[in-house]
Homo-oligomer: A and B are copies of this chain.
């Protein structure tokens, strides 16, 4: 019987192997050879799915974004008050546990390489548009008008990136620092419980 291989599954495995290498050893370490090794196959088998390193890395970045995006959508679909859904989505974007920290290490590695690589920059820009769009939707359900939604979504994205960065740049953030980070976001979100005139 011939070996049956699911094409998409195999691609996802290679993307995951790339992310693991990147999170642990940095982007430079994620060569075709090293990723194939990590996925337990030959470089030839990897090349069958991804002709070169640039294609593989773009797919890895996409996979990391997709994983975070899927968790966020699951939060959005929960039957919960709008402010809880907004908080839940934002918390998914912070490196508050080992999995999300790995994800952040992948972002950090890519960000270091992004300015000089137009394909990565484009991929990144597209994801940020989606991310802000989701936040605008949630802010709308909190009663914010479109111009304010747009502004607040920009601020929230920046805030979450900046807070996440502080945790992710540490070798290992202490549980207390993670709690402090989540509490800081929580306090910031209280502004959305006030009328717009008091928010300013």
Where the two chains meet, the residues of A that have a C-beta atom closer than 8 Å to any C-beta of B are: 24-28, 105, 108-116, 118, 121, 124-125, 128, 151, 154-155, 157-163, 165-166, 168-171, 184, 187-188, 190-191, 194, 198, 200
Q: Could you show 20 A-B contacts with beta carbons less than 8 Å apart?
A: A24-B116, A25-B116, A105-B115, A108-B115, A112-B112, A114-B169, A121-B170, A124-B169, A125-B170, A155-B188, A157-B162, A158-B159, A158-B163, A158-B166, A160-B162, A161-B162, A161-B165, A161-B166, A162-B162, A165-B165
Does A165 lie within 8 Å of B111, measured CB to CB? yes
CB distance from A182 to the nearest CB of B (A): 13
Chain B: CB-nearest residue to A190 = B200
CB distance from A94 to the nearest CB of B (A): 11
Q: Which residues of B contact A125 (CB under 8 A)?
A: 169-170
Does B128 lie within 8 Å of A166, measured CB to CB? yes
**Which of the residues B121, B170, B184, B191 comes within 8 Å of A169, measured between beta carbons?**
B121
| Known interface pairs A155-B184, A170-B121, A190-B200; A108-B114 also in contact (CB < 8 Å) | yes
CB distance from A150 to the nearest CB of B (A): 11
CB distance from A174 to the nearest CB of B (A): 12
Does B151 lie within 8 Å of A121, measured CB to CB? no
Chain B: CB-nearest residue to A161 = B162
Q: Which residues of B contact A169 (CB under 8 A)?
A: 111, 114-115, 121, 124-125
**Which of the residues B111, B118, B155 comes within 8 Å of A159, measured between beta carbons?**
B155
> How far, in whole Å, are A151 and B187 apart by their CA atoms in the complex?
10
Chain B: CB-nearest residue to A157 = B162
> How far, in whole Å, are A187 and B158 apart by their CA atoms in the complex?
14
> How far, in whole Å, are A166 and B191 apart by their CA atoms in the complex?
23
